[in-house]
Amino acid sequence: MEDRIPGGYDNFVIPFLAGMAFILAYCIAKLIGIIMHMPSDDRKKLLLSLVNPRIIAKNIADIFSDCLLHVKIFRKNPKLGYMHMSIAFGWFMLIVIGHMEVAEFMPEKLHTFYYPIFFNYFVLKTADSGTALAVYEFLMDFFLLMVLSGVGIAVFKRFRSSIVGMKRTTRPLTRDRIAMYALWAIFPLRLIAEASVAGTGGGGFLAMSIYKAISPLMPESANVLPIWWAYSISLGIFFFMLPYSRYMHIPTEAVLIMFRNAGIRATNAETGFSLLEQYSCSTCGMCIDACPMTNIAEGEKNASVYFIRNLRYGGGKSSTKSIANACLMCNKCVAACPVGINSCELKRRYRSADYDGMPARQYGFVPSMETHPATIGNTAGNPCMEDHGNRISASYAIAGTKGQSRGVDSKPHKTASCKQNEDNVYNKKAIYFSGCMTQLTPSVSRSMERIFKAAGIDYSYMDRDGGLCCGRPLMLAGNDRDAASLIEKNTGIIETSGAEILVLSCPICYKVFKENYRLGNIRIMHHTEYINGLIESGRIKIRRTDEKLAYHDPCELGRGCGIYDEPRKIISAAGHLAEASENRESSICCGGSLGSITLTYDQRSKVTQAALESLACGSPDRIVTACPLCLKTFGTYSALPVEDIAFTVARSLEN
Amino acid sequence: MTPDINFGFGLSKSSRINLDNADNEKFRELAAREPDILKCMACGSCAASCSAGNFTELNLRKIILMLTRGAEKETVRQLESCMFCGKCILVCPRGINTRHLIKSIREIYCRPCAEPETGNGI
């Protein structure tokens, strides 16, 4: 095997080389910028992750399955998955096998960047290369065919997105179109270019058969250079357009995976890690179909893809803000995103700019620890015992004294079926925090008290006479600073209570307690987990009826905290579970979410209707949810009776 | 008859507001941003359900009334205890987005008196 062209160089490689040099320089400069803008703790995490073998292994596995094979998209939509996999994995294999081929036959040329890309043009293949060459040629043509099939689907999808099962797809920008047409052109041009020199450069089943078909028509002296120029120029255009188009996700996604596996998260909406997330968005538009706001007229423009695009290209500030503030923060787009971009967190961070320069709130009206009903009897010598100001209102002082008589409700009595190991959390003192929303749906807290009593739990009810908010609503609005103040006050009350388990009946509270409170050894449980444990350990017994119960996954409990199975177990113990058409990770927000700051009453009702339609699919007798806010929202519109899961259990209690 | 007998009621402090002297500039800005504020019928559902109102004087019904009359100092003080929990939206029979209203009131009435940031993030 030898050089067909003396020197192994032709000017047509210049567009490719220029594009390659540009994109490499751009990526390195951006990466340095991103790392410089990260907090120093995050830089340390990144450095440590690069020497941690466990994280390295995870990085490799994730990059392979997410960037090349696109397993996540395959699972959701096989046709779309094939399209992405064929282009990404096929192209990757073309590059790898192309380099291996050069390394095998012309190792002295490997250092020139362009040689493996335009190998067939420069080389004169002789018959003595044997079967190894045939295998390489077959593989190269096989993967090129794979890429071409993917490009074919992509072209077709542009005109009819329904072919790959997408109802809506993103409106591409002009810059995206230029890069897209260049990408579409690369592979057919490569095939034609390789076929044109197959007489000297060889080729597999694809290039060779095209060569055989066209060679009788071609004169011996035919100039094949223009087609190689076209191939190189299309590559060059594509590389030059990368940073300015959606295709920037190709070099960025692998880096995003490494940063994420190192434990780095967005700390603001515009620089550092979030820039990496913006670049990694391929604007595939899978979040558009996922977004519950598509049920609202013109709601589609609020999809996360447009928010990220606005952030990245600096689109109008008012429209960026209006998308950020409309979002329900239901996280459905995050669950649907094949790249795993946490767009809701970016929006939350974006919202926080509204509080710059605002006076910080201290919430000094917090009830003092001595009078708090939850802390009676546990106050001696506790370091948390400070008087948090004198602004306690008279109404609370009365509530506090009332609480004294209720403080200790019942002593735990051990039943025979109860496991006696010390791990049994149900023998430990519990503190129940119902949360603000539950005060609007008292059926939940009353049911919880019935269940506690039936199970013989020693519990105290932290906010029976009203309490502080958990802080999550402020955080959803982007106001972490004021939320921190509430978190501090609530932490003090819970620590002083002496309880070992904190039971919450509101998923909004549950999420913030799980993620942002530092409660030491106190176990935090949502009431679905707690009740399920009570049923499984035999502490309570419930009647099973023939009723069909549809379960609605609340956003903050399901996607927010990953609790899907416990509520289903409880419902199966009380009746027949009828699944909604969109359940678990795809469950539709009830529409009442506190995440949205600007959606109006009417707009919210459209989302509620969509969720109710999905729930009605299994023709249930009742709708069961595990969130007081969902309960309240559905209650207004539902034709079917709606109840909280605690109520379902309490009305079926046998003991 | 001793003059200091406590009958349980007495003369309350005058709450008269001189509308001629009231500066409604900010309220007009607020009403342009939050036209829904004019829909309020002062039913008081928001105040009755308010988590913070349980402990403090925070009363959104009163705040809206006071703002329409140009009395803003008290509202700024009261809104300091709002925890943004959103119960008031759920109970408002007029469908007013009370959370956004509160945010706008704070932005319009509190920003000039902003203090340097002392808070810490989470």
Query: Could you read off the pLDDT of A303-341 as tens digits, one per residue?
Result: 999 999 999 998 777 789 999 999 999 999 999 999 999
**Do residue A437 and residue B84 have CB atoms under 8 angstroms apart?**
no
Chain A: residue nearest B77 by CA?
Answer: A361
Checking if the pLDDT of A126 tops 60, the result is yes
Domain-embedded: residue A68: no
Tell me the domains of chain B and their CATH numbers: 25-111 (1.10.1060.10)
Which of A326, A355, A384 finishes a domain?
Answer: A355
Checking if the pLDDT of A350 tops 50, the result is yes
What's the gap in Å between the CA of B1 and the closest CA on chain A?
Answer: 31
Domain-embedded: residue A214: yes
Distance CA A137, CA A130 (A): 11
Checking if the pLDDT of A153 tops 50, the result is yes
pLDDT at A199: 82
pLDDT at A127: 64
One domain, residues A316 and A206: no
Which of A199, A217, A249 finishes a domain?
Answer: A249
**Do residue A592 and residue B115 have CB atoms under 8 angstroms apart?**
no
**Do residue A473 and residue B54 have CB atoms under 8 angstroms apart?**
no
| CB-nearest partner of B83 from A367, A469, A481 | A469
Q: Which own/partner pairs from A607-610 qualify as long-range (CB within 8 Å, at least 24 positions apart)? A: A607/A292, A607/A293, A607/A295, A607/A296, A607/A328, A608/A633, A608/A634, A608/A636, A608/A637, A609/A295, A609/A637, A610/A292, A610/A295
Chain B: residue nearest A367 by CA?
Answer: B55
**Do residue A592 and residue B113 have CB atoms under 8 angstroms apart?**
no
Q: Which domain holds residue A580?
A: 548-651
Domain-embedded: residue A443: yes
Q: How confident is the model at residue B25 (pLDDT cuts 50, 70, 90)?
A: confident
Say what the ipTM of the complex is. Answer: 0.82
Mean pLDDT is highest, among A220-224, A295-299, A361-365, B96-100, for B96-100
| CB-nearest partner of B49 from A440, A465, A602 | A440
Query: Could you read off the pLDDT of A470-527 as tens digits, one per residue?
Result: 999 999 999 999 999 999 989 988 888 888 999 999 999 999 999 999 998 899 999 9
One domain, residues A423 and A300: no
| CB-nearest partner of B118 from A360, A365, A594 | A360
One domain, residues A282 and A215: no
Distance CA B73, CA B75 (A): 6
pLDDT at A387: 34
| CB-nearest partner of B87 from A440, A471, A481 | A440
One domain, residues A500 and A575: no
**Do residue B90 and residue A436 have CB atoms under 8 angstroms apart?**
no
Kindly state the average pLDDT of the residues A162-186: 87
pLDDT at A421: 42
Distance CA A226, CA A502 (A): 73
pLDDT at A577: 95
B56 Cβ under 8 Å from any chain A Cβ: yes
pLDDT at A394: 28
One domain, residues A232 and A171: yes
Query: Could you read off the pLDDT of A389-432 as tens digits, one per residue?
Result: 332 332 233 233 333 333 333 333 333 333 344 357 788 899 99
Task: Give the domain CATH number at A619.
Answer: 3.40.50
Chain B: residue nearest A356 by CA?
Answer: B117
* Amino acid (1-letter code) at residue A628: P
| CB-nearest partner of A436 from B51, B99, B113 | B51
- Chain A residues whose CB is inside 8 A of the B103 CB are 354, 477, 597
Task: Give the domain CATH number at A105.
Answer: 1.20.950
Q: Using alpha carbons, select from A186, A179, A340 the residue that is nearest to residue A260.
A: A340
In A486-597 the beta strands, taken as DSSP E runs, fall at 501-504, 523-526, 548-552, 576-578
Which of A536, A558, A573 finishes a domain?
Answer: A536
Q: How confident is the model at residue B61 (pLDDT cuts 50, 70, 90)?
A: very high
Domain count, chain A: 4
Kindly list the distances between the CA atom of residue A247 and the CA atoms of A21, A63, A280, B21, B71, in Å, as whole numbers in the listed order. Answer: 17, 17, 9, 61, 55
**Do residue A439 and residue B106 have CB atoms under 8 angstroms apart?**
no
- Chain A residues whose CB is inside 8 A of the B98 CB are none
pLDDT at A367: 62
- Chain B residues whose CB is inside 8 A of the A392 CB are 55
| CB-nearest partner of B120 from A359, A440, A484 | A484
Q: Mutating which of A395, A469, A511, A603 best tests the B interface, going by the most B Cβ atoms within 10 A?
A: A469
Distance CA A540, CA A574 (A): 12
One domain, residues A300 and A338: yes
Record the tokens describing residue A196, joined without a space.
Answer: 């044109």
B91 Cβ under 8 Å from any chain A Cβ: yes
pLDDT at B112: 55
One domain, residues A33 and A179: yes
Kindly state the average pLDDT of the residues A138-150: 95
- Chain A residues whose CB is inside 8 A of the B57 CB are 393
Kindly state the average pLDDT of the residues A188-214: 88
Phi, psi (degrees; rounded to nearest 5) at A524: -105, 125
One domain, residues A87 and A234: yes
DSSP conformational letter for A653: B
One domain, residues A166 and A315: no
**Do residue B83 and residue A481 have CB atoms under 8 angstroms apart?**
no
Distance CA A610, CA A604 (A): 10
Task: Give the domain CATH number at A288.
Answer: 1.10.1060.10
pLDDT at A397: 30
Chain B: residue nearest A488 by CA?
Answer: B122
pLDDT at A371: 56
Which of the residue ranges A4-13, A230-239, A242-251 would you say has the lowest mean pLDDT?
A4-13
One domain, residues A463 and A522: yes
pLDDT at A424: 76
Domain-embedded: residue A524: yes
Domain-embedded: residue A70: no
Contact predicate A471/A516, CB 8 Å:
yes
pLDDT at A557: 96
Domain-embedded: residue A491: yes
pLDDT at B3: 58
One domain, residues A305 and A381: no
Q: Please report where in the chains the tokens 């359900």 appear, as a residue.
A: B49
**Do residue B122 and residue A487 have CB atoms under 8 angstroms apart?**
yes
pLDDT above 90 covers what percent of chain A? 65
One domain, residues A22 and A168: yes
Task: Give the domain CATH number at A469.
Answer: 3.40.50.1860
